[in-house]
Amino acid sequence: MSNPDSFIDEVTEEVRRDRLYRYLKRYGWIAILLVIVIVGGAAWREYSASREDARAQAFGTAVLEALDAETPTERATELQDIEAPEGGAQAVLKMLIAGEQAAAEDADPEAARQTLTEVATSGAAPVYRQIASYKALTREGVPAEDRRIGFEAMVQEGGALRLLAEEQLALLEIEAGDTEAALERLEAIRQDSEVSQGLRLRASQLIVALGGSVEEGS
């Protein structure tokens, strides 16, 4: 390469460096800001996760300590004093409270149902609402018609408790003397692809108790 060419290349390279330095002086703060945001965001996520873990551990410890109380009334009272993290923990806590309310010697079934109804009508995840609704409907003292309406709604909604709701509807049909409808529903439960082994066994036993027959291996 000739000397003029070499000189031109050196000048061109110098111009590029000068241009780069000017850009860095003018816009370098943006790159620095981006680095701060990225590093700060990662640190905040780590801090938030650590804080949530600590809250979850504190909540679990408080629940275990409350459940160590001697009587259901004392356990329910101590559980009610616990502040649960948002989300599923609040629903679980209320269902624990309802269980202790129902187990107390001077139990008020309506109080337990009301606590469960609060969960069932809350903004909790659908699985928690369904569990609470199922528990509320199976409490003593709920009229048969109210149970039927509630369980039919659960079947229509679908979800994890659909087949358990079907089982309860079959029991209501037995209670009403509609054996044929109960047998048909129980057989449908047995044949459902999502049925658990325990529920299939209970359905089979009910069918036999009602005078029906169950094919072996089915």
Supply the pTM of this predicted model. Answer: 0.68
pLDDT at 151 (0 to 100): 95
92-123 pLDDT, tens digit each: 889 989 988 888 777 777 888 899 999 998 88
Residue 189's φ and ψ, nearest 5 degrees, are: -65, -45
pLDDT at 152 (0 to 100): 95
Average pLDDT over residues 165-181: 95
d(CA 3, CA 180): 106
Average pLDDT over residues 189-217: 90
Average pLDDT, the chain: 82
Q: Which of 13-27, 45-59, 127-141, 179-193 has the lowest mean pLDDT?
A: 13-27
pLDDT at 18 (0 to 100): 65
d(CA 136, CA 148): 13
Diameter over CA atoms, the chain:
110
d(CA 16, CA 105): 87
Alpha helices by DSSP H, 81-196: 88-103, 109-120, 126-137, 144-157, 162-175, 179-191
* C-alpha separations of 101 from 9, 74, 84, 86, 124 in Å: 87, 10, 18, 22, 21
d(CA 50, CA 133): 34
Per cent of the chain over pLDDT 90 is: 34
Q: Pick the more confident residue, 1 or 202.
A: 202
Q: Which residue has the tokens 């009587």?
A: 71
Tell me the three state secondary structure of residue 214: coil
- Is the model's pLDDT at 11 over the cut of 60? no
pLDDT at 1 (0 to 100): 46
- Is the model's pLDDT at 132 over the cut of 60? yes
pLDDT at 7 (0 to 100): 47
